[in-house]
Structure 1
Amino acid sequence: MTKHLIEYAQASAPVRVVYDDIMHTRQVDQVNNFWKCLAAHPSTLERTWQSLKQIMGPGALDPLTKELIYVAVSVTNNCSYCIASHIAAARRAGMTDEMFGELQAVIGMANETNRLAVGYRVPLDDGFRD
């Protein structure tokens, strides 16, 4: 599908509006390949960008925490593109090598214990119920 990357010069006006917003919001001079690929379907590009901008923008969680969560989910889902993209973003937000190592340990442990709990069909403790 990489043949479907839509560069700015070839983008339609609605796609350029989204590209411009991405570049302005992220303070970069070009959009990355994820967005260029989605641009083949402008409504998907617009919807995904608006959702991501809202969710990853200011909120109760700080930017680094959001990026660490994104890395953890991306590792678990085996999305190499998202892993690379969000590790870079996490580093820009302050993630250190030590934090990265600890994050990987937590991801591995969570995946292991999740599989054990599912495999053993561990019943929920009364104290954990709402």
Structure 2
Amino acid sequence: MATIKMITEKEAEGEVKSMFEQIKHMFGEEIPLTFQAMANHPEYMKIVLEKMKTVMESEEIDKKTKLAIAFSVSVMNNCEMCITMYTKQLKDAGFTDKQIVEIISVIDLVGSMNHFNNGTIIKPH
């Protein structure tokens, strides 16, 4: 259950309505709840959208790699909504279930090694 009011597409006006249209081009026809919540503070939502465009539209790293990274960070942060969204985007980008599980296995491996190293206070030379 959301802790603040979601601004729906029907309720959106002015700049928020315009930003919702941009979001639909990025994520499909449904406005993610994150942006419905951010619509309560349009100035902040505008900054977030610009940041997303700057990062995700840059061609330094290909889109599939960026989606895999975004999915990984979402798993590490335990963000159920983001995991669901990025899993869909990974599948839309051509990732198989086996590849998605492999990403999760890399997260598991590296995370467990990080925990081991933290517990033994191993430091690089």
Q: Return 5+ residue gaps in structure 1 as ranges.
A: 126-130
Distance in 2 (alpha carbons) for counterparts of 1:102 and 1:15: 38
Structure 2 distance, partners of 1:121, 1:14, is 51
| More moved, 75-84 vs 5-14 | 5-14
Partner of 2:73: 73
Structure with a larger share of its residues in helix: 1
Aligned to 2:24: 23
Give the CA deviation at 1:95: 0.8
What residue identity is the alignment partner of 2:66? Answer: K
Partner of 1:47: 47
Cα distance, 1:2 vs. partner? Answer: 5.6
8 Å CA contact 1:71–1:86 kept in 2: the answer is: yes
Q: Any stretches of 5+ residues in structure 2 without a counterpart?
A: none
CA contact (8 A) 1:67 1:86 kept: yes
Pairing 1:11–2:12 present? yes
Supply the RMSD in Å over aligned alpha carbons. 1.6
- C-alpha distance in 2, partners of 1:33/1:8? 11
Residue 78 of structure 1 deviates from its aligned partner by 0.6
Deviating above 3 A after TM superposition, structure 1's stretches of 4 or more consecutive aligned residues are: none
- TM-score between both structures, scaled by the size of structure 1: 0.86
Tell me, in whole angstroms, the C-alpha distance in 2 between the residues paired with 1:33 and 1:2: 12
Q: Do structure 1's residue 118 and structure 2's residue 113 form an aligned pair? A: no
Taking every aligned residue pair, what percent have the same amino acid on both sides?
26
Query: Corresponding residue for 2:105?
Result: 105
Partner of 1:128: none
CA separation of 1:90/1:114 partners in 2, compared to 1, >3 Å: closer, same or farther? same
**How far does residue 3 in structure 1 lie from its aligned partner after superposition?**
5.4
Q: 1:32 to 1:95 in 2, by over 3 A?
A: same
